[in-house]
Amino acid sequence: MSTDDPEVSPAARIPSPSDGVDGREAVDRADRPLTRAELRARRAAEEAEAAPETPAAAQHPAEPALPAAVEEPAVAEVSAVRRRSATPDAPAAPVAPDVPVAPAVPAPAEPVTRSAAPEQPVAREQPVAREQPVVPEQPAAPAEPQQPAAAAGFPADPRFATPEWQPNPTPAPAPRRRRFPVILGAVLGVLVLVVAGFGVISLLQGPRVDSVKIDAQAAIESSGTRMILTASQALAKVDPAQVSVSPAAPFTVDTSGRSLGIRFTVPLDDDTTYTVTVKDATGTDKQRKSTLQATFQTPKSTIFLLQRNADGDDTIFVTDLGGKNAVPIVQHQKIDDFRATADHLVVATEKDGTSVLLVMDRSGKNQRELKLPGTGFLSNLQVSEKGNLVGYTFTDKGISATSGRASILVTQSLTGDGDPQIVTVGGKQPSTAQWAFVPGTSSALFIDFSGALYVEDRAASTGTPTALGFAQTIEGISRGTYTAIVSRGGDLVELNLADGSEKPLAASTPDFGVPGTIAPFPGGTLRQVATRDATGLPTGQIVTRVGDDGKAAKLFSVTGSDAIMQACPSPSGQYSAIVVAPKLVNNPYDQSLLPLPTTMQTHIIDTKTGKELVVLAGFDPSWCAAAPHR
């Protein structure tokens, strides 16, 4: 060892090749403390060097016994440190005799660090036997994972640090989903409270309107339409005096449970808002009173008309009262007559010179032919809305003075079920001079050729005609009152068809003359009167409106060669349809089974004001109960 080298402590002494390690390893060992296994190995080597050599020992040096704790990994680590510490400039160390290599030692209990002293080449010197301190044995500590040694003067790089091992934590049990039951329970609780609250309020406030049901279209076309008002609780019986309708309209009342039925006995006006009010309505306990009120709007009216065409097909069309939206419904080579109900059109046509009766939807679809009593001709076509019946008078084609049926009255179902039913009186089929269905019923009022007046319910299977005396004409039947206006002798009377009572028809004020035809409507009549000059010659025609109180006003008039062929009120009497044949002298009749002037016009008049709304080309308006007279 050089005298310039600093004193080396035993723990930092650089082993020589005689210690069983090469120069690189010696340099590496100088930078770290020795383990117990290395200390034992060094002590055994020094003791072997200190012992006197024998020839046998010089030739075959005895291999020192190594403790079992020395294992291969420590040797591998020492070798690796030697290789890292060796430098090309280090002087070659003399080759030492072979020393048995100790087995690998276990990983050190503490991390291995380099010495802070700078590395310098050390002169090789012979090992000197030194007594090593005895290191007491301690129980082996558990091995820790090796980390790369940090370079001298630099901190350890955290990128190479082995992450601390942590066990996977046991996942906490997922909490049970309890939000939905809580929300559902809250919602149900709120609903129960709301329902209970409304129930209490209902009981405290008395009945109220829950719903209203009415067929507004049927209400303007026929009488007997019912409005069903449903209350929030069962109602005590409602007296008609508690009910009012605005605008005014006649009605009847019936009560059943929660339902209050209001039946309008006459058709209602079109395009009108009606309000029904029930005052002092109570529940069945009759404790709390309330006012029930409901409103509804009626639709605008439409009307069907017939146009004949000498050069083509005849057409039935429907239009509003403005006349700008006419739509053709039925076209046929020859149409004699037609009638309309809420659901059907009934059309009398011709085929091979005889009558054919067709029934279809109001749109003209689903046409089917109704069976007639034979081959012949029908006239006076009418329908019963209530009974769903069609009626007409029928005459056999081959009639003669001694054979055949003439003008027998026939009714049958619009569905086509069953055979036509012929009216009989005393077992005979009388010829009928005039007849009409009673509005709102299935009954027929008719006069036979002898002048006898009868009424019969045609829906009853075993019905028999009821005689009502004698009459010359049936002028009309009022809707909803079952009152007919008939002429007896030279007088006009109002005949109650329910009980047979009668009274004279009141004269109008002013008196415009004896009416030729009368058409009743709710609240009055339309009367057609011929005007005459001072000498009694006809000068024209007028249509007057006469109220139930007898007050009259002129509604429409024609003069010269124009002729009024028919005057019919709308179902409620709100409008009037007046059919005119202009210039009758130059207006020839057509060749149909029901011949009429070729050119016909229908004037739509506001019945209350007399204002003309529109003039339509055509005749036979659906508001009329029958076709115009010849």
Residue-wise pLDDT for 59-84, tens only, equals: 444 444 444 443 444 444 434 434 44
| Arithmetic mean of pLDDT, 138-153 | 47
Q: Starting from the edge strand earliest in sequence, which strands make up the sheet with 273-282, in order?
A: 243-246, 273-282, 289-297
Q: For residue range 7-25, what is the model confidence (pLDDT) as tens digits?
A: 444 444 444 444 444 444 4
- What is the per-residue pLDDT for 123? 41
pLDDT of residue 162: 62
Q: What is the pLDDT of residue 198?
A: 66
- Determine the pLDDT at residue 630: 60
What is the maximum alpha-carbon separation in the chain? 191
Over residues 123-151, the mean pLDDT reads: 46
Quote the pLDDT of residue 101. 43
Pairing relationship of beta strands 432-437 and 443-448 according to DSSP bridges: antiparallel
| Cβ atoms of 386 and 440 closer than 8 Å | yes
The DSSP symbol for 160 reads G
- Decide if pLDDT at 542 tops 70: yes
pLDDT band at residue 169 under the 50/70/90 scheme: low
Type of residue numbered 134: V
Q: Is there a contact between 493 and 485 (Cβ–Cβ < 8 Å)?
A: yes
- CB within 8 Å of 308: residues ≥ 6 apart: 314, 335, 590, 592, 596, 598
194 pairs with which residues across the strands? none
Return the axis-axis angle of helices 72-85 and 36-50, rounded to nearest 10°: 80
Residue 543 in tokens: 């249509």
- H or E segment and range at residue 191: helix 179-205
Q: How far apart are CA 304 and CA 621, in angstroms?
A: 6
Average pLDDT over residues 604-625: 95
Nearest Cα neighbor of 297 from 264, 274, 327, 278 is: 274
Residue 121: what pLDDT?
44
Q: Is the pLDDT of residue 336 over 50?
A: yes
Q: Can you give the pLDDT at residue 186?
A: 85
Interatomic CA distance for residues 33 and 21, integer angstroms:
16
Q: What is the mean pLDDT of the chain?
A: 80
Q: Where in the chain is the domain with CATH 2.60.40.1220?
A: 205-297
Asked whether the predicted pLDDT for residue 331 surpasses 60, the reply is yes
Q: Give Cα 97 to chain centroid, integer Å.
A: 107
* % pLDDT > 70, the chain: 72
As a whole number of angstroms, the distance between CA 82 and CA 520 comes to 136
End-to-end Cα separation, the chain, in angstroms:
161
State whether the Cα torsion 207-208-214-220 is positive or negative: positive
> Is-cis flag, bond preceding 247, omega within 30?
yes
If pLDDT is split at 50, 70 and 90, which confidence band does 163 have? Answer: low
Mean pLDDT, rounded, for 22-32: 49
Task: Report how far residue 364's alpha carbon sits from residue 352's, in angstroms, rounded to the nearest whole number.
Answer: 23
* pTM of the full structure: 0.68
**What would the mean pLDDT of 299-307 be, rounded to a whole number?**
96
* 282-302: average pLDDT: 93
Confidence of residue 159 (pLDDT cuts 50, 70, 90): low
What is the signed CA dihedral for 389, 390, 393, 395, rounded to 10 degrees? Answer: -110
| For range 113-137, the mean pLDDT | 44
Asked if residue 570 lies in contact with residue 553, where contact means CB atoms within 8 angstroms, the answer is: no
Using only the alpha carbons of the chain, give its radius of gyration: 62
Q: Which fold has domain 205-297?
A: Immunoglobulin-like (2.60.40)
The rounded Cα 229 to chain-centroid distance in angstroms is 24
Tokens for 364? 């003209």
> Could you count the other beta carbons within 10 Å of the beta carbon of residue 620?
29
Assess whether pLDDT exceeds 60 at residue 156: no
Contact 603, 568 (CB under 8 A): no
CA dihedral (130, 131, 133, 134) positive or negative: positive
Give the pLDDT mean for 536-564: 93
Higher local confidence (pLDDT), 334 or 94:
334
Which residues 6+ apart lie within 8 Å of 469 measured at CB? 452, 453, 488
Task: Look at 58 and 456; give whichever has higher pLDDT.
Answer: 456
Check whether 127 has a pLDDT greater than 50. no
- The mean per-residue pLDDT over the stretch 175-203 comes to 73
47 vs 277 pLDDT, higher one: 277
Does pLDDT of 621 surpass 90? Answer: yes
Answer yes or no: is pLDDT of 110 > 80. Answer: no
Angle at 465 between CA 391 and CA 443, to 5 degrees: 45
What share of residues in the chain are helix, strand, coil (percent, to 5)?
Answer: 15, 35, 50
Q: Residue range 372-400: average pLDDT?
A: 94
